[in-house]
Structure 1
Amino acid sequence: MLTEKEYQERLDRVAALREKLADNLSGSLVSNPALAEELNSQIDDLVSAAVAGDEARPVPPDRGLAALVGLGPDAARSLGETLTSNGVAPYDDQVNSERIVAVGDLYYLYQHDQIGVFRVVQKLKELFESGAVRLSSGPGAYALYQFDRRDVLRYTRKDRIEAYRRVLGYGRGLGSAQSRPNTDFHMLFGHFVNQVTLFWRDKRISDVIRERAIDPSFGSIAVVRRAGLDLRNNLKFTSFGHLNVMRVELMQVLDECFKILGSEDVIDLFGADNAWDVVDEVLIRYFDERLQSSPRQRMAVTGREVLRWLAGPHILETGRGEFEAMLMNIAEPAEEWLTSAQAMSLARRSGSDRVLPWEQLGQSGVASPVAERSPLTVPPRAGARPPAYPRRNGMGTYRGGAPGRRVTLR
């Protein structure tokens, strides 16, 4: 630990060094902004090395308290002789990357679950057991038998839904073991993706219309970093528990499902070319659903890439050049995720919202999910009797019913 006098002298010397370099290189810094970033980066490295050396110095057992209050033979004669600290470890550094990767895999699984992959295999298993399809002893039939036998050892569909609710906030009700659902995830995730796409959009515009295309001063990495840190901190507390084990098991189940759907006898049964064609055929034939396989699957792949990027230390990079180089890895995935989500009305593109206030989380924002429409219902007033005959207005027809029941707009 440093004394208060040494601590203040170091800060003054660092400030004087920055001022002296800026004064001597003022002409070069104007024409070459990257030089200023490099100088500041080297000075920051020197300061970090000095702070690390301070932490290794021996410290009195009382951490300098006796000297500060004036007790004992080592009592300080002035405030400058007392010991002080450089601070504690930054909050945003203390994140386990494995847990963020697990959230990325769970998001990947959720999107495939929404497509209907698990429902398709379950339906195929029911048809196989009832003898309603021409499957007997082929590789797909045998894999279906094994899939059914292992079912009792796996997490159930209810466990999956509760995990999605607890970690990602998707669905309804409470999360696993009656836990609090993470309703802020989609808002923060969409906000971060929006800021990444806005940053690269600004960067491309800068490269076209500015005189110095290599000048990296257009666009703010601080806004992107803040959006990423908000999302990562949100996932920090929702990724505990059985998530890591569950996602490993479910990834194995998903792989097994596609091996069944891609089996030769199953593909021949539906006249398909690959496993995804089997999924689409079963969803159309037996569930009568509109297909959303393509955008959902791309959201799964690109969303997982974005979350995996957050699991690394790239978001804490302070150098602009290094940060842009790392951020380029998710530039296209972020744009593709936003385009797919926008096409499905799950997110909207923002051109001006740079900051997402905490008070708006879960209420409104740049990427709030669009709720599914429910049937229009008009609850009766207290003590009111339902109409004895149909009554029309500009919206439709109100039909009567028993007292206390809803009056449905048809």
Structure 2
Amino acid sequence: MVTEREYQERLDRIQALREKVAQQLSGSLVSNPALAEELNGQIDALVDAATGADSGKAVPPDMGLASLVGLGPDAAQQLGQTRMSQGVAPYDDNVNSERIVAVGDLYYIYQHEMIGVFKVVQKLKQLFEAGSVRLSGGPGAYRLYQFDRRDVLRYTRKDRHDAYRRVLGYGRGRGSAQSRPNTDFHMLFAHFDNQVTLFWRDKRISDVIRTGALDPSFGSIAVVRRAGLDLRNNLKFTSFGHLNVLRVEVMQVLEECFRILGSQDVIDLFGADNAWDVVDEVLIRYFDERLQSSPRQRMAVTGREVLRWLAGPHIMETQRGEFEALLMNIAEPAEEWLTSAQAMSLARRTGTDRVLPWEQLGQSGVASQYAERSPLTVPPTMQPGGMPVPVYPQRNGKGTYRGGKAGWVPASTRRR
């Protein structure tokens, strides 16, 4: 049991130790800033060890209250003799890595869904069943038949979109089983990528101006760590449920889709060179869509790499040298994701903005297009029973409100 006097004396000794070391090594610390970080790390380790030893000691049944208020034979004569608590356990920032990896895979699947891979295979299946394309007994035709037979065993398109809404916040309506959508994910994800890119930009500048500079203004690891922890904590409670098995199944479906699209008879049918060319050709020919395959696919790959990095314990590293070495693994993926997202108006570079206030989550311009697709709520008086009504604003803010799921309807669809 640690008394109040022992607690105060220990803190004073620690401060005196730090001051003594700084005085004796002041010359070396100026020329070698990494030495100061190493010394502080060793002192912090000693403090943590002493605190852990105190926590393992026996605690009175009354938690020291009788001694504090002066009751019983063990009543304290002075305040310094009373028991001092070391505090509660810190907030647990550790997250099950499997769940964060599952979110990364779901993000990868979502981007391919937005490209239109599943839609292309469904269209190809319809054409095959209608006899509108010259496919008969080749490997692609047989795989299309198997794809159709297995369809009843898989998660449906609605199941996938509900999972996107619940875990990633993308789409409209409620998430799986009417759960609350995670509308903060994209803002936090874009913010973390921004902080990673800003860190390495500042690091490169510091290396040019001051070789080996460790000034916090030149790349703050604390800001990057805070952004990463905010994102991980956001995903901590949204990654439960059937996400793990769903992403395993849909990843298998995605692979099966590319086996179909990459079959020689399907490639020859569209005069393509590979499966991606088939995807683009079908999207242009049958859906008249603007192609976004290249930036979306790079967002899928780099976004999954960033989320996989967050699944590890790297974000908890406090030593600058180790943290920079680990963060280097996602320096280029974060830059590439941000560049691709910015090109598609899905994110913006925040410049010198280092903090994303909690009050602005869901309202920030970091992800303008996704924010427009997220439901807002109208005053409770607009629906009987006092329940909020989801509203889907028109991009230009123009249109007519029809209420309920219809939301704001563009002027071009109004009845004349």
TM-score when scaled to structure 2? 0.86
Residue 214 of structure 1 pairs with residue 238 of structure 2: no
Aligned residue number for residue 311 of structure 2: 311
Instruction: Tell me the equivalent position of 2:407.
Output: none
Q: CA deviation at 1:291?
A: 0.9
* C-alpha contact 1:356 1:365 (8 A) present in aligned 2: no
For the aligned residues, what is the CA RMSD? 2.3
> Structure 1 residues 357, 376: CA separation in 2 closer, same or farther (over 3 Å shift)?
closer
Alignment partner of 1:158 is 2:120: no
Percentage of matched positions with identical amino acids: 81
Secondary structure in structure 2 of the residue aligned to 1:59: coil
Q: 1:18 corresponds to which residue? A: 18
SS at 2:58 equivalent: coil
Residue 377 of structure 1 deviates from its aligned partner by 5.2
Equivalence for 2:242: 242
Aligned to 2:172: 172
Instruction: For residue 348 of structure 1, report the CA deviation from its aligned partner.
Output: 1.0
Q: Which amino acid aligns with 1:165?
A: R
Deviation string, structure 1 residues 169-213 (Cα, Å, up to 9, x no partner): 111111111121111111111111111111111111111223xx1
The 2-side partners of 1:95 and 1:119 are apart by: 34
**Number of positions where the alignment pairs a residue of Structure 1 with one of Structure 2:** 384
Equivalent pair of 1:120/1:282 in contact (CA under 8 Å): yes
Distance 1:338 1:375, change over 3 A: closer
Could you tell me which residue of structure 2 aligns to residue 290 of structure 1? 290
2-structure distance, mates of 1:32, 1:254? 52
Give deviations 1:151-183, integer Å, cap 9, x for gaps.
Answer: 112111111111111111111111111121111
- 1:219-276 superposed Cα distances (whole Å, 9 cap, x missing partner): 2112112211221221122222221221121111111211222222222222222221
Say yes or no: does 1:263 pair with 2:263: yes
In 1: Cα distance, 2:40 partner to 2:398 partner: 63
SS at match of 1:196: helix
Please say if 1:345 is aligned against 2:345: yes
TM-score (norm 1): 0.87
Which amino acid is 1:215 matched to? A
User: Does the 8 Å CA contact 1:186/1:368 hold for their aligned counterparts?
Assistant: no
**Aligned partners of 1:206 and 1:376: how far apart in 2?**
44
Asked if 1:64 is matched to 2:64, the reply is: yes
Residues 9 and 115 of structure 1: CA distance in aligned 2, closer, same or farther (over 3 Å): same
Task: Find the counterpart in structure 1 of residue 79 from structure 2.
Answer: 79
Indicate if the aligned counterparts of 1:353 and 1:366 stay in contact, CA closer than 8 A: no
After superposing the two structures, state which structure 1 stretch, 333-342 or 301-310, moved more.
301-310
Change beyond 3 A, Cα 1:54–1:243: same
* Structure 2 letter corresponding to 1:264: Q
Which deviates further from its counterpart, 71-80 or 26-35? Answer: 71-80
Amino acid at match of 2:339: T
Aligned to 2:55: 55
Query: 1:394 is matched with which residue?
Result: none
2:28 is the counterpart of 1:28 = yes
Deviations 1:275-314 (A, max 9, x none): 2111111111211111111100000111111111112222
Larger deviation: 370-379 or 143-152?
370-379
What is the aligned partner in structure 1 of residue 6 from structure 2?
A: 6
Query: Residue 216 of structure 1 aligns to which amino acid in structure 2?
Result: L
**C-alpha separation between the residues in 1 aligned to 2:78 and 2:397?**
76
Conserved 8 A contact 1:191-1:367: no
Instruction: Indicate the SS of the match to 1:93.
Output: coil
Q: Corresponding residue for 2:204?
A: 204
- For residue 53 of structure 1, report the CA deviation from its aligned partner: 2.1
Which stretches in structure 1 are left out of the alignment for 5+ residues?
A: 381-397, 400-404
- Alpha-carbon contact 1:92-1:229 (below 8 Å) kept: no
Structure 1 residue identity aligned to 2:243: L
- Structure 2: runs of 5+ lacking an equivalent: 374-393, 402-410
Instruction: Report the counterpart of residue 195 of structure 2 in structure 1.
Output: 195
Q: Is the 8 A contact 2:100 2:308 kept in 1?
A: yes
* Residue range with higher mean Cα deviation, 249-258 or 192-201: 249-258
Residues 36/281 of structure 1: CA separation in 2 closer, same or farther (3 Å cut): same
